[in-house]
């Protein structure tokens, strides 16, 4: 079953953002949805990225969940995603990366990061 894009152009905006994530840095699904213009559409951003796994040059592996964990274990790509990120210098401790150190925000959206919840 295909989930429709929440807003026209959402897929293209998500893909454009993913293409910009620098090596060794990460974004969360929720952050990606927010910056793509549809706050709260983290799951839909995940569906867009799921369509890329194994068939794209875009750095899909640089998008993780809000806990700093890889969410793709459920679909069989978690180990591969972790290996790709570790090859870029992203470290995982107890299955989490340090979002405070690794999360990337585009320069034009520097005001976007919310205060930490934890």
pLDDT tens digit at each of 118 positions of the chain = 455 545 669 999 999 999 999 999 999 999 999 999 999 999 999 999 988 766 789 999 999 999 999 998 888 889 999 999 999 999 999 999 999 999 999 987 655 555 554 4
Helix, strand, coil in percent for the chain, rounding step 5: 45, 5, 50
CATH class of 10-107: mainly alpha
Domain locations in the chain as residue ranges: 10-107
SS3 99: helix
- Buried/exposed 43-70: b ≥16 CB within 10 Å, e otherwise: ebbbbbbeebeeeeebbbbbbbbeebbb
Cα–Cα distance list, 52 to 57, 65, 96, 118 (Å): 8, 17, 23, 31
């Amino acid at each position: 079953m295909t989930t429709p894009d929440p807003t026209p152009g959402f897929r293209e905006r998500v893909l454009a953002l993913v293409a910009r994530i620098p090596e060794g840095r990460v974004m969360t699904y929720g952050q990606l949805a927010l910056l793509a213009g549809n706050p709260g559409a983290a799951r839909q951003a995940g569906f867009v990225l799921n369509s890329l796994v194994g068939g794209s040059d875009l750095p899909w592996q640089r998008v993780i969940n809000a806990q700093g964990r890889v969410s793709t274990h459920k679909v069989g790509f978690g180990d591969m995603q972790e290996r790709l990120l570790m090859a870029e210098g992203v470290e995982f401790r107890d299955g989490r990366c340090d979002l405070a150190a690794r999360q990337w925000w585009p320069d034009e959206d520097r005001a976007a990061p919310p205060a930490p919840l934890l």
